[in-house]
Each structure stands twice: as structure tokens, then as C-alpha cells.
Amino acid sequence: MDQSTLINPHNPHFTMDQLPAEFYENVLSNVSATLPKLFNPIYTRLMGGFGNAARALDKKRHTTSLKVIDGKLSQVAYYDRMILRGPQEDRAIKFRQRKYVLYKRFTEHWSLISAKLKNQLKRYAMEPGMLSLCLKSNVLENEWIQLFTSWKSLQFFSICVPFSRPLRELLENFMSQKQLLHLSNHSSNYGIPGLFLFCQFLKQDQFLVLRLDALDELLKQQILHIWSQNKHLLAGKMVRWTCEGAPMPSGCFECPERIDHGVMRLENQDFVAEHYNLRGTVGMSYQEFMKDVHCTEWRFK
């Protein structure tokens, strides 16, 4: 039996386990990168092989996390829908949605990266699942920068520390490789160089999500300027502001639509803004709801 027959969902002998890992990663996970938990539940309601595959992924999806602390590797932690599980539990590797690497330093003392550690991280990076790097230290020697840059499968990058020159160099490397889908920034000292980099990432075809922890009026205006000059350039992308004082572009919007107790949506033909309020209730007016908004998402059509 040839491969095309084997993976045909209409073949009576076909099972979801015969689908390659690339299908779950590139079709069902990557296209949902702008959604919570990187999964679109609508897919599970579809008919046929695609819906069957989505239901299989929803049932079996999991993540793993690996910590690199002061150059030493931790044990791999396993999570099913963000719940920590034991490593002995059986999991098909093709259903792994994401694999995290958390980099942390408690000391500035430098020693060379061992060949063993490089090989372990290289194997981990090549396994199925979208690769995510979370920086919890901005102490980065050139060898670490080169190691992280070598991960061509890296798609998610999270900055949890103040900007530094090595960190900026690493970002520039990722930008030149046009590989990131998702960038989260929890730093506030990025300045004009960081602002420029964020905007350059947004312009890249493959890039989907920029997440920020604070409202930066200059960055906000620059993003809106890019959008006003070429709306197609940002189509399908999202900017998430996790902060109070929900930013809104000027323009005409339809009446606010209540999506859930804690979600309010405003929309026009080019743009969607969704506001999140943990204290939101159905009975709140739009003005009351907006007083306690803690997060706003811009979605460009």
C-alpha cells in the first residue's frame, strides 16, 4: 500500500495515528497560533478526516518543558493541558503541541557549553512540537546566542528580563532568519531599538502574534501607522496588550458585542478589538466594563 493511500482519511483502514506529526504541528497547531492554548475548538466540530484529526489532537495534546539553569539541564516536565503529569505516562510524541526551553542564570560565571548539553538540546529541538524559548536571564555569551540562533525550528520566543545588548543581538538573528511566529515581551526598557525590532517582526509574512505587558504609546502609534500604510501587511496578525487602559485606534466601529461574561468585542471591516475583564458581568454597560479591562487584543483582518 503506497503512502498516499495510507493517509487517505476515506480509506477504511486509515486511523488518526497514521497521520504524520507534521500534520498536527503545521495544520492544526500553527494555524491556531493566535488562539488561546494554540488550538481552535471549531476544528473538532468539522466532519471528515480533518475533524477526526482535530478531535484526536484535542484529546491527546500535551507539552513538555526543559530548564537550562546555569548551564545544566533539568528533567523534562510533562503537561497535559497545562496540568503537570508524571513522565511515566504514555504519550504519542506526534501529539506534543509545544516544547519549551527555559533559560535561567543565577551566576554570571561563565563556563563553556558542554558538547553533551548541545547535543541534548539539539535532539530536543528537532523532536515534534512547536519549539518555544523563554529567557529568564539576559546574561548571554556569544556561544549561547549562536546555539539559540541555530534552532531553525524555533517559533515562539518569550522575553522575561530587561533588554540587553546580547538579547538584542539574538532578536536581530531571529529577525534575519524569518522564523518566529510569536514574540512575547515582558520588558519595559527596550527603547527605540526594541520598538523598531517589534515592528519589523510584525511586517514579516510568517509572523503572527506580538504580546506586550505595557501600553507604549509610541509603539502603538507606529503599529497603527504601518497598518494605515498597508493593511494587507498586518492581515491575520494579532497584537495583545496585557495592561489597563485599553488602547483603541481611531475610527468607526459597530456597536460593542458581548462575546462572554468577560469579553467585549468591537469590530469594523478591517479590524477587531477584543477587551478582557475578569470582573465582567452580563449586566455591565460598555463604559462599566471598560473600567476594569486588563487585556486587549488587536486582530487585523
DSSP string for 133-158: EEES-----HHHHHHHHT-TTEEEEE
Q: For 55-89, how does the pLDDT look when each residue is reduced to its tens digit (9 = 90+)?
A: 877 888 888 999 999 999 988 888 886 666 766 56
Report how far residue 188's alpha carbon sits from residue 110's, in angstroms, rounded to the nearest whole number.
Answer: 27
* CA distances for 157 relative to 34, 36, 88, 182, 287, angstroms: 14, 16, 29, 6, 35
**Residue 255: band (very low, low, confident or very high) from pLDDT cuts 50, 70, 90:** confident
Report how far residue 219's alpha carbon sits from residue 105's, in angstroms, rounded to the nearest whole number.
Answer: 30
Q: Mean pLDDT in the chain?
A: 86
> pTM for the complete prediction?
0.86
Q: Is the pLDDT of residue 201 over 90?
A: yes
Q: Is the pLDDT of residue 2 over 50?
A: no
**Cell 509545544, residue?**
98
Q: For 9-23, how does the pLDDT look when each residue is reduced to its tens digit (9 = 90+)?
A: 555 455 556 666 666
Dihedral (Cα; 29, 32, 38, 44), 10-degree rounding? -80
* CA distances for 259 relative to 34, 88, 95, 263, angstroms: 17, 40, 30, 5
The mean per-residue pLDDT over the stretch 203-231 comes to 94
Pick from 260, 255, 264: which is nearest to 292 by CA?
264
User: What are the domain boundaries of the chain?
Assistant: 17-60, 62-180, 203-300
